[in-house]
Amino acid sequence: MKIKLYLLLWMLILFFAATTVLFSNVDTIKPPEPQNLSKLSGDLKEGNPKMEYVLYKLMKTYFEQGIEKAKEFANQRRIDMQDGFVRVVTESNEARYISNIRDTMSVKRTNYLITEQIKALGGKVETAYGNLIQSIIPIDRLNDLIYLPYVRYLRLPKKPIPCVVSEGVEKTGADRWQTVTPYRTSEIVKVCILDLGFKGYENLLGTELPDTVVTRSFRSDRNLYADKHGTACAEIVHDMAPNAKLWLVNFNTEVEHHNAVDWIINQGIDIVSYSIVWLNSGAGDGTGPICEDVKKADSNGIIWVSAAGNEADRHWEGNFNDTDNDNWHNFSGADEGLTIYVDAYTPVEMYLNWNDWGYWNGNRYSGSNQDYDLYLYIWNGYYWQYVDSSMNYQTGTQWPVESIWGWYSKISTWWFVLIEKYHATKKVKLELFIYGASGDLEYNEKYGSLLIPADSANSITVGATDLSDDSLHWYSSRGPTSDGRIKPDMCAPAGVSSFTYGNLAFYGTSASTPHVAGAFALLKEKFPYTLNQINAILEARAKDLGPAGKDNRFGIGRLKLTK
Amino acid sequence: MKRTNFVFTVFALLFIFTFARPSTEPVKIKIIADKANVYLQPSENSLVIATVEKGKVLNIFGIGAEKGEWYYVFFTLEERRAKIGGFVRSSMAEIIRPQVEKKEITQKEIEEKENEKMTEEERKEVVKAGEKTVKEIKEETKKTEEISKAVKSEERKAQIAVEKAPISSKKDGIKVGLGLIGGYAMPSKSKYSEGVIYEGNIYLLISKNLAIEISGLSFQSDVVEDPEALSAGKLSVIPISLSLQGRLPVNDFLTPYIEVGGSYFLNDFSLNNSIVSSWNNVGFDINEEVEKSIGLQVGMGLDLFISKSFIFNIDCKYFINNTNGSWELIDQVSNEKISGDLDGLDMSYIYIGFGLKYLFSL
């Protein structure tokens, strides 16, 4: 009997002990603000101005800790690395820096020289566009590449992020349009869904998709099925415009993107449905390589419909403010950090840029000489522990961007984001996107949360409204653009049904965008109005929401095809 | 067969029918009864003005109204040395043709030869007969003149009767006619449906060979959508035409004609209601119009005189009607408008119609 009582007592003790251990770190009460954090970078930066900081860290990890640790690092940062080869993008220098030969010839020549060098280093060129060369290079040879005089910058490829019979068809009045007999046109409208992947699309041919579609993968591995996001978008376009012919085109990096857009233009596409956004890929004023693609498509008569992005609650922007002159940005008063609470195993990502991109010449930015860095700390239950930093050089030619990603915690806890002025002569306007927070950002600015290329003057940018009551979805990115233009242009329903996502409603501006692209296609196949005239018609018919007129939340209002 | 070929075939057949028809004109009749009375009027109750023997050949002037039972003949009455017109029952005679007339001339020659063979006694009798007294001759002459007057009077009445009764116009003079025609029209373009036409016309018969016609014609056609031309809808074409007719009378009964002229086409087009309503349903006003136009027409036809005043008419015309049109689509919300021109709309068509005309003198 005594033994049983002892046993029970011990079990109770063990239960409380286990409970205490398990939940001791789950601290949902905000920890104290960090005090007197030292600058990690000190006076000298690590790495090389011609190499993205994260690549330097990967290389450093490899040389100091071996290939396994490097693999672990690459895996954590979602860096494409396989068998010791890293996928990178090399930006070549323009002609004027290396010869007197004309620019176009020089670009070809420098690309040729770089390509030969990559081969010599044991790498392989996958694709190229303009002065960008996408290749895979042995990790131990990355350093060799940057010392070539005609290599301007070595970095990871920029990658897009996806922003799922839709109820939006009836909501927008497209069902009534579908019954209208075409007038003075027999045009088959070509719509391209430019996306990350079209997994499972074959199973939907003849039902959720047209009987036949045109497909093309611009990925280096030619994998059309890398993602199912595009399939869901294509479903909505087909729901809206059942007679439109669809092109399903996917890509993975910005170099592949450029090539894809050139191909789309040659295909005579009428409309591009683009439920993709990019981070740190432009100044937010409609310039940059991705926006340039949109501009090129527009100049070739293509209507480009872009998602605004789902970043309204992940965004902060403001002028650099250092009231105590310690080079740390003060988000508010004496608060030098932006605190977020993140659930266990949820990846934390953050992207910083500031308005010092320089001049965009249609090919590249002249670059920034205002150097700011990004730091990340985590609350370990006792103190703020350093996690990671991003310390790209900004010496006059690099982009004003920093980014940290690939981190997560095994417990739910608080994270702390800091911005340091490393070397700057002027105050800049900072913009920060943070992913992973389970609740609101401590400092959140919903306006100006557009991503690239939603800021393009050449795209129809689409926000997301609720299917039932036309309220703006909380995540829908808002304008204005960094040069003050009102965006998005209009909104469309999200949270709609799709075969691809099954029981899960397709939310996001990704779902809204193909509604608008489909509306263009539907109207285009009904009469010979030009796409620009159709745009005017759609704008006039949109259901005005929010403040009267066009605004930075709803644009001109929710897509509505009936009068 | 293409519609154009069909049209030309119709024209050709009409001509062949008109001009290749053998002449049926009865120029003379020959008495086949033993004796036949010549009446002043086409009635057996009328005055008998002469009696002719079997085999006598008489000039025929026309056919009686009573179902062709009477021939109006005109001949010299030897006994009275006067020309007489009168009616002979058709059953008493048969129509002979020019060859027959030749044969009749031969018969005269035979009679003359027979006269030459007359005996001396017969000649004497003739001389004896000629030795009538002057008094008798004068009396005879007087009687003859009285009869002749009566005959002339009756002849005049008979002539009026003839004109009233059956005969086609035989004298030139300006006459006016009013006509109504119903027919079938076949557009030259297959996008326009065939259909019934109605025509009203005023007809001015200036001479035996020339007439002027002013007509108005209504034709409605269903239009099949053509992206390059009109959309689905109803087309109405009303040509107001002025035509000059060249008339070629074959006889008093049958007059073929050809005509040429110009028309002012009151073209009108309306889109199908289903199209208009479906666009209205999505907030768009849609409209298509065709312009009025000037064109030409050529044609031919037949006038069949069923009486002096009534004509049965077969008419065939080809209207050359080329016009332009326009279309527009207007967004009721944004007022965004799109429009275009429809050039070179060929709305030509041919029709064949049947109708009646009523003639009256001015």
Taking alpha carbons only, the member of B186, B218, B214, B184 closest to residue B199 is B218
- Which pLDDT score, from 0 to 100, does residue A156 have? 92
DSSP secondary structure string, A477-517? -----TTS----SEEEEESEEETTTEEEEE-SHHHHHHHHH
Burial class (CB in 10 A: 0-12, 13-18, 19+), A147: exposed
d(CA B39, CA B151): 10
Helix (H, G, I), strand (E, B) or coil at A12: helix
Same domain, B149 and B216: no
Tokens of B149: 């007057």
Same domain, B176 and B255: yes
Which residue, of B127, B149, B164, is where some domain finishes? B164
- Which pLDDT score, from 0 to 100, does residue B128 have? 57
Superfamily name and number for A161-310+450-541: Peptidase S8/S53 domain (3.40.50.200)
Instruction: With respect to residue B40, please indicate whether it lies within any of the assigned structural domains.
Output: yes
Q: Give strand pairing partners of B312.
A: B304, B356
Interval B266-308: pLDDT, tens: 999 999 998 999 899 899 999 999 999 999 999 999 999 988 8
* A345 or B170: which leads in pLDDT: A345
B333 touches chain A (CB under 8 A): yes
- Which pLDDT score, from 0 to 100, does residue B215 have? 93
Same domain, B246 and B113: no
- Which pLDDT score, from 0 to 100, does residue A16 have? 56
- Domain of B243 in residue numbering reads as 169-361
Same domain, B225 and B324: yes
Same domain, B197 and B144: no
Q: Are B269 and B213 in contact (CB under 8 A)?
A: no
Q: Which overall architecture, per CATH, does domain A312-435 show?
A: Sandwich (2.60)
Chain B residue numbers touching A179 (CB-CB < 8 A) = 278
B282 touches chain A (CB under 8 A): yes
Q: Are A194 and A263 in contact (CB under 8 A)?
A: no
Q: Find residues 105-124 of chain B whose CB sits inside 8 Å of chain A.
A: none
For chain A, 563 residues long, give each residue's pLDDT as a single digit of tens: 555 667 777 776 666 555 544 444 445 577 777 666 655 444 557 888 889 999 999 999 999 999 999 999 998 888 999 889 999 999 987 654 444 544 455 677 788 888 888 999 899 999 999 889 999 999 998 888 888 777 889 999 988 877 545 778 888 989 989 888 888 888 899 999 999 999 999 999 999 999 999 999 999 999 999 999 999 999 999 999 999 999 999 999 999 999 999 999 999 999 999 999 999 999 999 999 999 999 999 999 999 999 999 999 999 999 999 999 999 999 999 899 999 999 999 999 999 999 999 999 998 899 999 999 999 999 988 889 999 999 999 999 999 999 999 898 999 999 999 999 999 999 899 999 999 999 889 999 999 999 999 999 999 999 999 988 999 999 999 999 999 999 999 999 999 988 898 878 899 999 999 999 999 999 999 998 998 899 999 999 999 999 999 999 999 999 999 98
- Which pLDDT score, from 0 to 100, does residue A33 have? 72
Chain B residue numbers touching A541 (CB-CB < 8 A) = 283, 331, 333-334
What is the average pLDDT value for chain B, to the nearest integer?
78
pLDDT band at residue B20 using 50, 70 and 90 as cut-offs: very low
- Which pLDDT score, from 0 to 100, does residue A145 have? 85
- Contact across the interface for B282 and A185, Cβ inside 8 Å: no
Same domain, B143 and B174: no
Total length of chain A: 563
Tokens of B6: 């069909």
Which residue, of B105, B136, B164, is where some domain finishes? B164
* B100 or B333: which leads in pLDDT: B333
B286 touches chain A (CB under 8 A): yes
> By CA distance, what is B278's nearest residue in A?
A180
d(CA B310, CA B290): 39
Same domain, B222 and B84: no
Q: Find residues 211-240 of chain B whose CB sits inside 8 Å of chain A.
A: 227, 231
CATH number of the domain that residue B294 is part of: 2.40.160.20
Encoded amino acid at A52, one letter: E
Q: List phi, psi (to 5°) of A456.
A: -65, 135
B180 touches chain A (CB under 8 A): no
- Contact across the interface for B333 and A183, Cβ inside 8 Å: no
Domain positions in chain A: 53-155, 161-310+450-541, 312-435
> By CA distance, what is A562's nearest residue in B?
B282
Q: Which overall architecture, per CATH, does domain A53-155 show?
A: 2-Layer Sandwich (3.30)
What residues of chain A have any CB closer than 8 angstroms to a CB in chain B?
173, 176-177, 179-181, 183-186, 527-529, 533, 536-537, 539-541, 561-563
CATH number of the domain that residue B70 is part of: 2.30.30.40
Instruction: With respect to residue B13, please indicate whether it lies within any of the assigned structural domains.
Output: no
Domain count, chain B: 2
Q: Are A95 and A78 in contact (CB under 8 A)?
A: no
* pLDDT exceeds cutoff 70 at B5: no
Contacts of A13 (CB under 8 A, 6+ apart): none
Same domain, B88 and B230: no
Pairing of strands A338-342, A413-423: antiparallel
Same domain, B133 and B179: no
* A543 or B109: which leads in pLDDT: A543
d(CA A549, CA B127): 132
Instruction: With respect to residue B271, please indicate whether it lies within any of the assigned structural domains.
Output: yes
> By CA distance, what is A561's nearest residue in B?
B282
- Which pLDDT score, from 0 to 100, does residue A367 have? 93
B244 touches chain A (CB under 8 A): no
Tokens of A509: 């501006």
Helix (H, G, I), strand (E, B) or coil at A559: coil
- Contact across the interface for B334 and A529, Cβ inside 8 Å: no
d(CA A523, CA A538): 9
Q: What is the DSSP letter of A537?
A: H
Encoded amino acid at A365, one letter: Y
B332 touches chain A (CB under 8 A): yes
- Which pLDDT score, from 0 to 100, does residue A240 have? 95
Contacts of B157 (CB under 8 A, 6+ apart): B40, B41
Same domain, B207 and B289: yes
d(CA B177, CA B218): 20
pTM, full prediction: 0.72
Interval B44-72: pLDDT, tens: 888 888 888 888 888 776 554 444 677 87
- Please, what is the Cα angle at A220 between A217 and A223, to 5 degrees? 45
Q: Are A377 and A420 in contact (CB under 8 A)?
A: no
Q: Give strand pairing partners of B305.
A: B311
Chain A residue numbers touching B275 (CB-CB < 8 A) = 181, 183
Same domain, B68 and B194: no
- Which pLDDT score, from 0 to 100, does residue A25 have? 45
Nearest CA-CA distance, residue A465 and chain B, Å? 22
- Which pLDDT score, from 0 to 100, does residue B47 have? 80
d(CA A430, CA A482): 11
- Contact across the interface for B334 and A185, Cβ inside 8 Å: no
Compute how many other C-beta atoms are within 10 angstroms of the C-beta atom of residue B356: 15
Which residue, of B164, B184, B206, is where some domain finishes? B164
- Which pLDDT score, from 0 to 100, does residue A2 have? 55
- Which pLDDT score, from 0 to 100, does residue B37 have? 87
Instruction: With respect to residue B3, please indicate whether it lies within any of the assigned structural domains.
Output: no
d(CA B86, CA B73): 5
Q: Are A286 and A394 in contact (CB under 8 A)?
A: no
Q: Give B214-217's long-range contacts (Cβ < 8 A, gap of 24+).
A: B214/B240, B214/B241, B214/B242, B214/B243, B215/B239, B215/B240, B215/B241, B215/B243, B216/B240, B216/B241, B217/B241, B217/B351
A to B CB pairs, distance under 8 Å? 55
Q: Are B165 and B181 in contact (CB under 8 A)?
A: no
Same domain, B68 and B199: no
Encoded amino acid at A2, one letter: K
Taking alpha carbons only, the member of B108, B25, B15 closest to residue B71 is B25
